[in-house]
C-alpha cells in the first residue's frame, strides 16, 4: 500500500498530523547541525521539515517519487519541486551536501538502489538523514497514517542497509511515542505520552531517525544500471487516440477535403 500525495497532505493538515510533525521535528533538531550555504534535497514528502531546516541553505529542492505524486512548493516563489524516479535522480555526482529521506525508503521498490543513488549525488562528507517507520512501533500497525503503509524497518535492518550502501550511521533518534489515536482526549495527552515514551519505551517508537555520513574509504564497483521504468510525458493523456499514417496504397486527401 502506497501513500498518495493527497493522503499525505491531508494527514499533515489534520491535528494528528501536526502532532506527528512536531514529534519528528524534535528528533531531527537533536541531530541536525545546520550549515550555512549547504545544498539540501528532500526526497519523499519532506515539505514540513524543509521549511524548518532549510532556511540557511544555499538552495533547497523537494524531490517526490513518481509513484507518490508531487505538489508545487513553495507556494510563494519559483517552484523547487520535481517528480523523480528515486533510482535515477536528476543530479550530478557529488552535487548535494545533505539529503532528508522521509516517506520514501519504505515505499522504494529497491531500497538498496535508492540509497546507492543518494550516495552518488552526495558530496564527500555529505549527510543523509532518514526517517522510517519502526517495525516494533504501534504506528506501523495502523493504516490511517502514512507510517502504517509500506515496509517498516527495525534499527538493525536500517543499520545493515546503510552500511551495505557505504554509509556510516552517526546519530540515532526516535519519534512518535504517543499512540496514533484520533480521539481528542488522547491527542490532548500527547505531550505527556511523548515525554514518557522517550524515557520509558524508546524501542517502541513509531519512527526511527538516523543520520549517516557518506563513506569514501571503501571502493565501490562501477556498473551501468538499466532503468526498469518507462516514462510517459505527463502532458500526454493516457489512452489518447493518435493520428494513423496513410498507407502507401492509399492516396492522401487534398487540403480542401481535410478541412
Whether 112 shows a pLDDT value over 70: the answer reads yes
Number of domains in the chain: 1
Average pLDDT over the chain, rounded to whole? 86
Residue 251 lies in a domain: no
Residue 114 lies in a domain: yes
Residue 197 lies in a domain: yes
Whole-number pLDDT of residue 75: 83
Domain carrying residue 21: 5-236
Residue 116: which of 157, 162, 160, 165 has the closest Cα?
Answer: 165
Residue 248 lies in a domain: no
**Residue 105 burial by Cβ neighbours in a 10 Å radius (0-12, 13-18, 19+):** buried
165-210 tens-digit pLDDT: 999 999 999 999 999 998 888 888 888 989 888 888 888 999 999 9
Q: Do 157 and 136 meet the contact criterion of CB atoms below 8 Å apart?
A: no
Q: Do 152 and 106 meet the contact criterion of CB atoms below 8 Å apart?
A: yes
Residue 37 lies in a domain: yes
CATH of the domain at 22: 3.40.50.150
Residue 70 lies in a domain: yes
Model confidence band, residue 228 (pLDDT cutoffs 50, 70, 90): low
Residue 128 lies in a domain: yes
Residue 250 lies in a domain: no
Whole-number pLDDT of residue 1: 59
49-86 tens-digit pLDDT: 998 998 889 999 999 998 898 899 998 888 999 999 99
- Axis-axis angle for helices 111-121, 155-164 (nearest 10): 50
Whether 221 shows a pLDDT value over 90: the answer reads no
Q: pTM of the entire structure?
A: 0.83
Amino acid at each position: 500500500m502506497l501513500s498518495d500525495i493527497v493522503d499525505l497532505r491531508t494527514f499533515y493538515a489534520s491535528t494528528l498530523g501536526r502532532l506527528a510533525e512536531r514529534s519528528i521535528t524534535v528528533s531531527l533538531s537533536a541531530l541536525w547541525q545546520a550549515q550555512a550555504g549547504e545544498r539540501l534535497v528532500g526526497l519523499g514528502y519532506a515539505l514540513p521539515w524543509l521549511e524548518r531546516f532549510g532556511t540557511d541553505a544555499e538552495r533547497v529542492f523537494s524531490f517526490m517519487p513518481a509513484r507518490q505524486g508531487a505538489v508545487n512548493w513553495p507556494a510563494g516563489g519559483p517552484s523547487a519541486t520535481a517528480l523523480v524516479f528515486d533510482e535515477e535522480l536528476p543530479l550530478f555526482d557529488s552535487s548535494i551536501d545533505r539529503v532528508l529521506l522521509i516517506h520514501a525508503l519504505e515505499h522504494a521498490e529497491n531500497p538498496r538502489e535508492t540509497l546507492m543513488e543518494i550516495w552518488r549525488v552526495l558530496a564527500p562528507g555529505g549527510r543523509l538523514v532518514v526517517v522510517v517507520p519502526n517495525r516494533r512501533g504501534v504506528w506501523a500497525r495502523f493504516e490511517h497514517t502514512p507510517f502504517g503503509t509500506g515496509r517498516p524497518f527495525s534499527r538493525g535492518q536500517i543499520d545493515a542497509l546503510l552500511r551495505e550502501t557505504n554509509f556510516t550511521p552517526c546519530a540515532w533518534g526516535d519519534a512518535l511515542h504517543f499512540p496514533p489515536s484520533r480521539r481528542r482526549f488522547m491527542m490532548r495527552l500527547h505531550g505527556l505520552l511523548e515525554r514518557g515514551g522517550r524515557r520509558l519505551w524508546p524501542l517502541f517508537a513509531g519512527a526511527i531517525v538516523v543520520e549517516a555520513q557518506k563513506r569514501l574509504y571503501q571502493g565501490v564497483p562501477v556498473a551501468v544500471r538499466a532503468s526498469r521504468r518507462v516514462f510517459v510525458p505527463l502532458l500526454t493523456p493516457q489512452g489518447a487516440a493518435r493520428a494513423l499514417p496513410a498507407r502507401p496504397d492509399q492516396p492522401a486527401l487534398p487540403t480542401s477535403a481535410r478541412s
